[in-house]
Amino acid sequence: MNRLSINNDSKTVIAMKGLLNDRIRRSHVAPAGNCPVNMCASYARQCLSESCGKCIPCKVGLERVAELLEEVEDGKGTPKHLTDIKDLLESIRDSADCAIGFSAADDLYKATQEAWDDLESHVNKGVCNSVVESIPCKSGCPAHVDIPGYIALTKAGRYADAVRVIRYDNPFPASCALVCEHPCERYCRRNMIDDSVNIRGIKRSAVDGAGKVDPPECMPSTGKRVAIIGGGPSGLTVAYYLQLMGHQTTLFERRKKLGGMMRYGIPRYRLPDEYLAYDIDTILSTGVDVKLGNDITDKEFNEIKHEYDAVYISIGAHAANKLGIEGEDAEGVLSAVELLRAMGDDEAPDFKGKRVAIVGGGNVAMDCTRTAKRLGADVTCVYRRRQEDMTAQPEEVLGAIAETCRFMTMAAPVRIETDSDGKVSALIVQPQIPGEYDRGRPMPVSAERDEVRVECDIVVAAIGQKIDSGAFEAAGVPTNRNRISASDDTKVDTEGLIFSGGDVTSGPSTVIRAIEAGKTAAANIDQALGFNHRLPRDIEIPYANAKIPPKTGRINLPEREALDRAGDFTVIEGRMTDQELHQECDRCLRCDHYGMGSVRGGRESW
Amino acid sequence: MVKITIDGITTEVPKGTTILEAAESVGIRIPRLCYFKEINEVAACRVCVVEVEGANRLLAACNTVCDEGMVIKTNSRRVRNARKNNVKLILTKHNTSCTSCIRDGSCALQDITKEFNITGQVIENPHEKLNWDLSEPLIRDNSKCITCFRCYNECHKVQELTVWSILGTGRRSYIGLDPRRGDLHTMCALCGQCITHCPTGALTARDDTARFYEAIDDPDLITVVQVAPAVRSAYGEMLGLPKEVATEKRMAAAIKALGVDYVFDTNFSADLTIMEEGSELLQFLGERDGLPKGEFVEGKRRGDFPMFTSCCPGWVRYMKLKYPEMVPQLSSAKSPQQMFGAVTKSYFAEKIGVDPEKIFCISIMPCTAKKYECDVPELQDAAEKDVDMVLTTREFSRMLRGVNVEKLDEIEFDSPLGTGTGAAVIFGRTGGVMEAALRSAYFLVTGENPAPEVFCDMGPEGRSAGEGRPWREAEYKVGDAVVRTAVTSGLANTGKLVEAIKAGEVSYDFVEIMACPGGCAGGGGQPIHDGEEYAACRGSMLDRLDIESDIRYSHENPDVIALYDGYLEKPLSHKSHELLHTDQREWSL
């Protein structure tokens, strides 16, 4: 027997590693609405399977926790079960020998504390508050678009019907085909087999294939008038659905054009004008009365309130956060909002040959970085955390890197230096190291290193937006830290039928969340006005395919070559070929037919 | 059309045909369990799976649509193996106390277990504890539930009440009442459609047969039975009796054979109901100009809304649950069952000279909601309980297993509450109350009998009110007046009709509603045939009885005439109001 040998994984070990990977993939799409007691119990069991078996708290304690949770789940729980679970988890966390035990107990302790009401509900009322998700992509989409429906239609070549099905829940099929953050794909059940369906890519093909599709006919006029303040995705969504329901809407927009952040935030290379126009033109064709260049004051708001039967406030979040550092007011410092707004109005600043520093790590920072690049600048994106901590979508970051934008991470801006003319000459940053976790990310901590000087002519602060709700606050609309306070049904708790949604209530968020708010508001405004208009769902969806293709690679959308695209504002992303489209549509598991989708039955109107 | 091959047979079927339907079209029966045509095609039990060439998994035949060129095997080793295992798995969760189960013999799970030749205890079976108040008319025993979702979908799609919820997730998921939403009393019409669509004994109506025998055995009690119209169209089914044998008169003999003293007929009180409700309708039509219009005045009937029939307690419960503001629109006439009880314990008691409390009044009904109705405190006017107990057609048939019905000689119903007309017998199917009421209303106004067939548009084959309007409508000239009528059955249909009335899209004078699809013939207390609906064929049996009747007008019922002459004076008299009417607003759920 030799003293050492090379370790090769046995067949079993390879199989188990594969199984653990399968488990990871499945847990990404596991429905979070499932019974929390069951989820905690199975988590305890899984951690137990990792236990080495040495120390008692982990080996025996985790099993006891699992048993107690299972008894609660089985309706045999008593209040003592709950206190026992809490006590036990505390002591395992405190006394287990290694991380297998103490981190498991810590995770479970936090989770059970957060879900305490649910545990109590099992014990005291015998009720589980879990929600069964029937169609994961549809539940995951904030607007609840009938995704399996339009994929089936796209597959059948019925592109116009696909667009109609999307518009039933979301009047921005074209814009969302290019820019939606597609939370639906995260929940796609296909993740359990290989990878999610490229839902957004399919939508793009449907829209491109459909050409112009007229909206459905408006219902007979109700004589009701609704004012909408702010013409972004949320306001336009309200306008569209209320028009279809027979109400007359008037849309007040502060800027020269409609679209809100879709125009004044998202760069053209991601969302070309013609796609935005495709959606907005359809919406306006329902008869919306648009008043551009109308910045509503508190006095005007009060007049509108009296003149209209209901009001929807959707002014978005268009004010910039300040860096709060020395030199911020120097010439050459601007906010992301200012830069992107100018782009939206076709008033691009002259960045040619200039050195531009972008501060921030979110999607807006990436938009600014890549926009500056296209304006001919030498760009550096400065961020105080690690690249993986950026809130921007990874493909945005990688896209910017490919376009030869520089990235300086772990660097916190401390001051802006100016030249003798008062113009920006450099951004001074303090190197950082990642520290302890706070809300899911490590906090940056100053490194024991010297400050670094980033020479530049322009500094763009892309560190978040604020809400400019002063006029409404002055008119008595309740706000909380500048956000308008509206409940989940978008109703504002004040006299009159005042509703509000989108970024102005949620803070900066995605297009699809704004559409969700608009759809919610449209339904509730209709009801508040004394109606129950339901738009007809009259498009027949093709039958589900009997054969499900085996593990098949996801088709990603092509992008223009990085150096080629970095010089212009033409759209980056391409579309699928017919062959790719057919294969990708085929990958859809039709969860409207298989699984709970067919039990919950039918495509209900909202 | 698509071309497919099933078990070597090549055939063409219309686009959209499921594999299960396609197989049936070439004479191949695919086993199924959770499936119920149109109502529940959810592929939960995985018993109907088949092998399709090119598909890597087996596919559910019940909800997979045939594709062009599909080659299907319905009986391969893979298929048999999966089917048998899936039934065994269901059995591991099922309380297999079959010998004493009410559904022994009519249980779909039992049938499929036999079909697959599964014998012996499969796996140790620690089933659920029964967690239900057994005094309720409707009982759920989840130890027998196989989570097929039929009850959920029947209630959700056909009755649109969604009493049943899908609760919990994973292995603990089950179907039951969601206490956050309410309980039986606050959500359920008690129509019993979930019972008749349940494949097993998980959903049942309370069994009251023991109380029946107690009453028969009590020498101090005079037992009186009334039997509803729809019962005679169905009581022979569970006994395997052909229609020619299972006659009305043999049914009377069978009831007698169980040991009761008087066998009367709910047809009698159905005629009485027509006299009261028909007169009330004419009064309503005369007064309606003076009634409020346009908005609800608490507790007041509205002149621009119709009067609704009130004989179906499932519908009455629905109205009170969903549209409490519209309750005054219900006819104040009690149902035939309750009218019968009130007359038995007043007029009949006097006639035979006994204390009403000595009479024990039993109904045999096609209905589960009637079990509830007989206990409603606001409906007791002649005695402590006007109707003492209700048996469903199923309970009645079960008791008859010990009687050799085939050999019984036919007998007449007893007098004086045993005569019914053809107008009464069609109460047992949708549209019948309306037709019967119109026949007599016409006579009351004009003094002449209309031809009975004049109102047949109200029957099941009648004229639809149009697309998206699942009800029938007609206008009839009664004297100088035009009466606009509508009829529907099933509560989803009812909801649509009531909403259309509320929205002012339609306007009627008189509307008949039955909670169960097809009316009482398809009632929740009727015999169960897994996967099949019997309401239509039972309804046509009732039509035949009407046509064959000597008397086809309620106002010509001699027993009813005698009752008015000697006791009640006239319809809507003081005495009638006391015994035969109720204040719908006071009757709370």
In angstroms, the CA B405 to CA B176 distance is 39
In angstroms, the CA B113 to CA A7 distance is 53
- Closest-CA distance, A80 to chain B, in angstroms, reads 22
Instruction: Return the residue matching tokens 């005291």.
Output: A124
Q: How many CA atoms lie within 13 A of A458 on its CB side?
A: 27
* Domain closes at, from A79, A97, A124: A124
Contact with chain B for residue A595, Cβ under 8 A: no
Residues A206 and A229 placed together within one structural domain of the fold: no
Contact with chain B for residue A599, Cβ under 8 A: yes
Burial of A261 (0-12, 13-18, 19+ CB in 10 A): buried
Residue A28 has pLDDT above 60, yes or no: yes
Which tokens sit at A39?
């989820």
Q: Give the phi and the psi of residue B519 in degrees, each rounded to 5.
A: 85, -165
Q: Residue A1 domain-assigned?
A: no
Is the CB of residue A498 less than 8 Å from the CB of residue A169?
no
Q: What are the DSSP calls for A249-277, one per residue?
A: EEEE-SSSSS-THHHHTS-TTTS-HHHHH
Q: Give the phi and the psi of residue B458 in degrees, each rounded to 5.
A: -80, -15
Q: Residues for chain A: how many in total?
A: 606
Closest to B460 (Cα-Cα) out of B547, B386, B521, B524: B521
Q: Residue A3 domain-assigned?
A: no
Cross-chain residue pair B70–A546, CB shorter than 8 Å: yes
- Closest-CA distance, A370 to chain B, in angstroms, reads 46
Residues A364 and A409 placed together within one structural domain of the fold: yes
Residue A480 has pLDDT above 60, yes or no: yes
Closest to A30 (Cα-Cα) out of A146, A197, A189, A218: A189
Q: Give the phi and the psi of residue A281 in degrees, each rounded to 5.
A: -60, -40
Q: Tell whether ipTM is more than 0.90.
A: no
Residues A392 and A459 placed together within one structural domain of the fold: yes
Residues A280 and A341 placed together within one structural domain of the fold: no
Residue B340: predicted pLDDT: 98
Bridge partner list, A382:
A359, A408
CATH classification of the domain holding A110:
1.20.1440.230
Residue A307: predicted pLDDT: 96
Closest to A356 (Cα-Cα) out of A460, A463, A430: A460
Q: Residue A19 domain-assigned?
A: no
* Domain closes at, from A465, A481, A502: A465
Is the CB of residue B300 less than 8 Å from the CB of residue B328?
yes
Q: What is the pTM of this model?
A: 0.84
Which residues of B make CB contacts under 8 Å with A?
Answer: 16, 41-44, 52, 54-57, 59, 63-65, 67, 70, 149, 152-153, 156-157, 166-173, 178-180
Residues A571 and A444 placed together within one structural domain of the fold: no
Q: What are the DSSP calls for B32-73, one per residue?
A: -SS-BTTTB----S--SEEEETT-SS-EETTTPBPPTT-EEE
Cross-chain residue pair A544–B170, CB shorter than 8 Å: no
Residue B278: predicted pLDDT: 95
Residue B55: predicted pLDDT: 86
In angstroms, the CA A168 to CA A606 distance is 9
E strand or H helix at B115: helix B108-115
Closest to B46 (Cα-Cα) out of B141, B175, B162, B146: B146
Pinpoint the alpha helices (H) of A96-182: 99-114, 116-124, 136-140, 147-155, 159-169, 173-179
Closest to B252 (Cα-Cα) out of B463, B412, B15: B412
Model confidence pLDDT, tens digit, residues A222-255: 999 999 999 999 999 999 999 999 999 999 999 9
Give the Cα-Cα-Cα angle B213, B215, B219 (nearest 5 degrees).
115
What is the identity of the amino acid at B388?
A: D
Is the CB of residue B370 less than 8 Å from the CB of residue B344?
no
Is the CB of residue B159 less than 8 Å from the CB of residue B314?
no
Residues A522 and A543 placed together within one structural domain of the fold: no
E strand or H helix at B486: strand B481-489
* DSSP-assigned letter for residue B229: G
Residue A53: predicted pLDDT: 87
CA-to-CA separations, B508 to A319, B282, B500, in angstroms, rounded: 59, 14, 11
Mean pLDDT of A14-26: 91
Number of Cβ pairs < 8 A linking chain A and chain B: 67
Is the CB of residue B195 less than 8 Å from the CB of residue B205?
yes
Mean pLDDT of A199-219: 97
Instruction: Return the residue matching tokens 């370790």.
Output: A7
Range of the domain at A205: 138-212+537-600
Known active-site residue B520 = yes
Contact with chain B for residue A115, Cβ under 8 A: no
Model confidence pLDDT, tens digit, residues B81-134: 899 989 988 888 888 888 889 999 899 999 999 999 888 765 555 566 678 999
Q: Give the phi and the psi of residue A298 in degrees, each rounded to 5.
A: -65, -35
Residues A411 and A544 placed together within one structural domain of the fold: no
Model confidence pLDDT, tens digit, residues A133-172: 789 999 999 999 999 999 999 999 999 999 999 999 999 9
Confidence of residue A403 (pLDDT cuts 50, 70, 90): very high
Closest to A501 (Cα-Cα) out of A319, A300, A316: A316
Is the CB of residue A598 less than 8 Å from the CB of residue B149?
no
Contact with chain B for residue A548, Cβ under 8 A: yes
Give A50-54's long-range contacts (Cβ < 8 A, gap of 24+). Answer: A50/A100, A50/A104, A51/A100, A51/A101, A52/A98, A52/A100, A54/A97
Residues A522 and A580 placed together within one structural domain of the fold: no
In angstroms, the CA A498 to CA A301 distance is 11
Query: How does strand A310-313 pair with strand A498-500?
Result: parallel
Preceding omega of A215 cis (within 30 degrees of 0):
no
What is the identity of the amino acid at A133?
A: E
Q: How many CA atoms lie within 13 A of A376 on its CB side?
A: 7
| Domain tally, chain A | 4
Residue A31: predicted pLDDT: 79
Cross-chain residue pair B65–A544, CB shorter than 8 Å: yes
Q: Which residues of chain B have pLDDT under 50?
A: none
Residues A285 and A344 placed together within one structural domain of the fold: no
Q: Residue A220 domain-assigned?
A: no
Residue of A nearest to B19 (CA): A546
In this complex, which of B169, B171, B180 lies closest to A130 when CB atoms are compared?
B169
Residues A412 and A546 placed together within one structural domain of the fold: no
Query: Which residues lie closer than 8 Å to A424 by C-beta, 6 or more apart?
Result: A327, A330, A331, A332, A333, A416, A417, A418, A456, A457, A458, A459
Contact with chain B for residue A31, Cβ under 8 A: yes
Is the CB of residue B520 less than 8 Å from the CB of residue B230?
yes
Instruction: Report the percentage of chain A scoring pLDDT > 70.
Output: 100
CA-to-CA separations, A415 to A50, A406, A428, A459, B293, in angstroms, rounded: 49, 20, 5, 11, 75
Give the largest CA-CA distance in chain A.
94
Which tokens sit at B468?
């998206």
Q: Residue A254 domain-assigned?
A: yes
* Domain closes at, from A89, A124, A159: A124
Instruction: Return the residue matching tokens 């037992």.
Output: B223
Query: Which residues lie closer than 8 Å to B324 by C-beta, 6 or more apart?
Result: none
Mean pLDDT of A277-298: 96
Q: What is the 3-state secondary structure (H, E, C) of A14-69?
A: HHHHHHHHHHHHHHHHCCCCCCHHHHHHHHHHHHHHHCCCCCHHHHHHHHHHHHHH
How do the residues of chain A divide into helix, strand and coil, expressed in percent and rounded to 5?
45, 15, 40
Q: Residue A23 domain-assigned?
A: no
Residues A368 and A495 placed together within one structural domain of the fold: no
Contacts of A127 in chain B (CB under 8 A): 167, 178-180
CATH classification of the domain holding A581:
1.10.1060
Contact with chain B for residue A156, Cβ under 8 A: no
CATH classification of the domain holding A383:
3.50.50.60
Domains of chain B: 2-90 (3.10.20.740), 93-205 (3.30.70.20)
In this complex, which of B59, B64, B170 lies closest to A34 when CB atoms are compared?
B170
Residue A258: predicted pLDDT: 97
Q: Residue A376 domain-assigned?
A: yes
Q: Residue A461 domain-assigned?
A: yes
Q: Give the phi and the psi of residue B580 in degrees, each rounded to 5.
A: -110, -5
Residues A446 and A325 placed together within one structural domain of the fold: yes
Is the CB of residue B206 less than 8 Å from the CB of residue B141?
no
